[in-house]
Structures are given as structure tokens and as C-alpha cells.
A = this chain, B = another copy of it.
């Protein structure tokens, strides 16, 4: 149990062996069936999730009932609504398991405590924040400056494994276009390449 998270803390976050059992004892593990919601709109997000196995997405539903995918998180990824978690506001997002998923749950208190126990954890947590900002800024950059085809090409380059596991219409939603448009783009790319 909790083995992937243990390994992740050890190898990626470089948490010292002595601190590992202490930290691990503070988190819960939970299973979610495909389609289950880890977070619903209106709830205050109580946990961040570390995905041990499976695949999840963060998305919203707007006034016109359209879904907008904000993020995917597969194995070894983190997912949560930081705004809700950190600021204690009701979330406007859903988090859904796209496959049967096993996740580690931890709250802000855990992050605080773990940061005090382990400087390595603290550093890694800051790294995660910085990295998150980097990704978001990159995405904004693409949304502002690149057309749909470029954004799609960037996506498959950045997340090749997701391209296969995630339904196309969700990728379209992530890219900010309709499924039909993505379908056209893919068609064009295939025929272009075969020339």
C-alpha cells in the first residue's frame, strides 16, 4: 500500500529515509471507480490527490453546459483545485476518475507539517508550485499565440501517452476547440504526412 507515493517521495522529492514513514502515516489512500468524482462543484476541496494508478481530469461546466478540461493527471501526477484548497473557497471544478484510480489524499495541514518535518519535502513542494506556474504560463502562451493545430501538436508532443488514453473530445476541450474541429485537424495531419 501507498508504495508508489512512498517511492515518489523518496526518489523525486528526495525525502530522507527517516522521514518517510512519518509522512506516509499522515496520508490516506482511496480507490475510485471509473466515472467517480473526487471533487464536485460547490464543495470546498479538502485534499490534494496524488494519483498512484489510473487517470483523472479536472474540469468545469459553464452556463451553457459545456465542459472545459483544465488538467489531466495520470500516475505519479498531482491534481486538486488549489484555489479551493488553499483559499478555502467552494470549488467551481469537478475532478473525475477516467479509469479505475487509486489515489493518495492529503490536505493543507499535511503539506504544512511535512514541510516542517522535511526540508526536502518543502523544497519539492515549492518546485511543484513553480512548475505548475510554468505549465500554466506555457498553455496561456499557446492559447494566445498558436492556432488549434499547433496547440494539438504541442499536446501530443507533451503528453504522448495521454493522447491514447483520453477520449478525443476531452482533448478537444482541453485545447479549447470542438471535437469536430479536432477531428478535422487530425484528418489533415494524417493526409499531410502521407504525402
Is A133 an interface position by the 8 A CB rule?
A: yes
Is A195 an interface position by the 8 A CB rule?
A: no
Count of A residues near B, CB < 8 Å? 25
Q: Roughly how many angstroms separate A21 CA and B136 CA in the complex, as a whole number?
A: 35
Smallest CB separation, A12 vs chain B (Å): 16
The oligomer's copy count stands at 2
Overall SS of chain A's interface: helix
Contacts of A70 in B (CB 8 A): 137, 140-141
Q: Roughly how many angstroms separate A98 CA and B140 CA in the complex, as a whole number?
A: 22
Contact (A140, B141) CB under 8 Å given A129-B133, A130-B82: no
Is A26 an interface position by the 8 A CB rule?
A: no
Q: Are B83 and A137 in contact (CB under 8 A)?
A: yes
Is A153 an interface position by the 8 A CB rule?
A: no
5 CB contacts below 8 A, A to B, read A60-B141, A129-B130, A139-B140, A144-B173, A144-B176
A-B contacts besides A132-B133, A140-B143, A144-B176, 13 pairs, CB < 8 Å? A70-B137, A70-B140, A82-B130, A82-B134, A83-B137, A87-B134, A126-B126, A126-B129, A129-B130, A129-B133, A133-B136, A143-B176, A144-B173
